[in-house]
Structure 1
Amino acid sequence: MIGIDIGGANLKVVDDAGVHIHYCPLWQGAPLADLLEPYAGSAAVVMSGELADCFATKIEGIRWIVGTVQEAIPDAAFYGTDAAFHTRPVPGLAAANWLASADYLREEYADAVLLDVGSTTADVIPLTRFESLKGLTDTRRLQKQYLVYTGMLRTNVATLLSSVTLDGTVTPVSTEYFAASADAHLVLGHIAPADYTCPTPDNGEKTVDAALRRLARVVCADIDEIGKSGAHQVARQFWEIQRRVIGRAVGRALFQGDAERVITAGIGADLFARELGCATLAQEIGEVSDALPAYAVREVALRRAACD
């Protein structure tokens, strides 16, 4: 059996050979069926790509994803926010990937909050209260701060920054998509160029110098106007706000869920484990933690099959 997580930007597959991550921007007409074609056998699937704005409604996206997957892999079942598997496109399939992770981890980590920081979002999941998580939509998760819409790579820097302080001067920022969170994390040394797996805002190079140029544009400047130090200040202030926003959500979940510890997963796992002084899931399950929902839905399906 394989596990599949279909996001709006990335397709993640886990099989016996390991983790396979494909850049798959659905809003640009990415060939999902072609990417799935090499994978054979039965599949357990989760999704969040139904929210891509190429679909007029989420149910339209669900129907398209289910149909496309079943065309490539007929023996596919889809995990929903009711914690059940389905073979038909039902509304509850929308954004159930995080719940599959919780379902897989809830017994072994029953005293923990899971922080899964990906390219686009951070999931904050109190594993102490699994039953209360069922049925939550992304809107409700945003309201509860279980979904924090900022990530390691694809976040527009200007979504968190309204202004920056450059050498003591408060400077409002442009809201154009000049720089991404990947640029900030690259220049701060949190990621390597190879980790910059999404397109850059200007379709330019994925180097530190190019990232610094993009960060300077956030304040409508060139590097020769504010210097590399000025661009670094933009990156640092973005990161300060990002870690504070995510950290606040984690603290809230710890308190409200009566949890005792935090575990981290996703491409931001190591960074946030250092910030929060906690362990990463990779220390327990290895590289599959980078594609946790895909791995989790596979394991949940296998467990249930073993019990039947």
Structure 2
Amino acid sequence: MKIQEDLRKLAAANWAASANLIGTEIGDCIFVDMGSTTSDIIPIRNGKHVAGISDFSRLVRSELVYSGVLRTNLAYLLEKVNVADGDCHIASELFSTTADAYLLLEDIPEELYTCETADGAGKSKIDAMRRLARVVCADLTEISADEIYHIAQQVKERQVSILSQAISVVAEKNGLDRIASAGLGEFLIKEAAERLGFECISVASRWGADVSKVFPAYAAAKIMEDEANASGKE
């Protein structure tokens, strides 16, 4: 039992370090870190996180959402999309990921498209458009560029909606109405915060964009440095 508990704590160490630093520097809030694959939604009260320990417990509590900026399968997010001919069911296959949508919408540059593509092809906007068209079983001769762009917008709208819903659940349970945002998805977290009417404190604005993208590693290093300095003064 002790070993299992230690493993749970180790698995949680990445976001826990972030939450502890946010609790110290910012105070009571919901720390939202959206990366390539998942989103952590961590309630912080009295300087400490009050989140579940295991991924299972956090999924149940809406503190973990399997929705990210790069790797999320569009078939997970959407059942239908609106195209020129009306609402169209999408194919339940890994034909495109969120990275394609955000590359096309210019929310991320090509150098941040760091995951593998769904079809093994390139990472240009044309490549992304082909993959986005394929989610409705079309190619670039069957669907217009405007329609593909609109599909990407619907992906973004759905992802912001999912994120907003999860943050709302955590906020209501913990009596919090302030967000600290980090990760590749800060642009999505900001939109979710605005939709909810919550204050949003950006880690990128406070510590820099490069730190925001790797905030768990930065937080762990900062906490270790502070502890070492404290020990040295004793």
Residues 265 and 282 of structure 1 are in contact (CA less than 8 Å); yes or no, is this contact kept in structure 2? Answer: yes
Instruction: Tell whether the 8 Å contact from 2:12 to 2:53 is kept in structure 1 after alignment.
Output: no
Give me the TM-score of the superposition, normalised by structure 2: 0.87
Q: What's the % identity of the aligned pairs?
A: 38
Q: What whole-Å deviation, never above 9, does each CA across 1:1-54 have from its counterpart, x for those lacking one?
A: xxxxxxxxxxxxxxxxxxxxxxxxxxxxxxxxxxxxxxxxxxxxxxxxxxxxxx
**Which of residues 62, 75, 80 in structure 2 aligns to 1:163?**
80
Q: Give the structure 2 partner of residue 132 of structure 1.
A: 50
Q: Give yes or no for the alignment of 1:285 onto 2:207.
A: yes
User: CA RMSD for the aligned pairs?
Assistant: 2.1
Which structure 2 residue ranges, 5 or more long, are not aligned? 195-199
Per-residue displacement from partner, 1:102-135 (whole Å, max 9, x unpaired)? Answer: 11111222221111111111111111263533x6
Question: Which residue is equivalent to 2:230?
Answer: 307
Question: Which structure 2 residues correspond to residues 145-164 of structure 1 after superposition, within 5 A?
Answer: 145-164=62-81
- Find the aligned partners of 2:94 and 2:49 in 1 and give their Cα distance: 39
Q: Secondary structure at the match of 1:224?
A: coil
Match of 1:99 among 6, 16, 21: 16
Moved over 3 A (4+): none
Q: 1:96, 1:124 → 2: CA distance?
A: 15
* Post-superposition offset of 1:95: 3.7
1:256 deviates by 2.0
Question: Residue 112 of structure 2 aligns with which residue?
Answer: 195
CA distance in 2, matches of 1:213, 1:297: 40
Equivalent residues of 1:177, 1:201 under 8 A apart: yes
Q: Is the CA contact 2:44–2:50 (under 8 Å) kept in the aligned structure 1?
A: no
Contact 1:124 1:145 in 2 (8 A): yes
- Checking the alignment, whether the CA contact within 8 Å between 1:111 and 1:260 is kept in structure 2 is no
Q: C-alpha distance in 2, partners of 1:126/1:168?
A: 43
TM-score, normalised relative to structure 1: 0.67
Structure with higher RCO (Cα < 8 A, 6+ apart): 2
1:274 shift after superposition: 4.6
Residues 221-300 of structure 1 mapped to structure 2, 5 A cutoff: 221-277=138-194, 278-286=200-208, 287-300=210-223
Shift, 1:275, TM fit: 4.8
Change (3 A) 1:168 1:247: farther
Q: 1:276 to 1:99 in 2, by over 3 A?
A: same
Aligned length: 222
Closer, same or farther: CA 255–271 of 1 in aligned 2, 3 Å: same
- Written as runs of structure 1 = structure 2, the 5 A alignment for 1:180-191 is 180-191=97-108
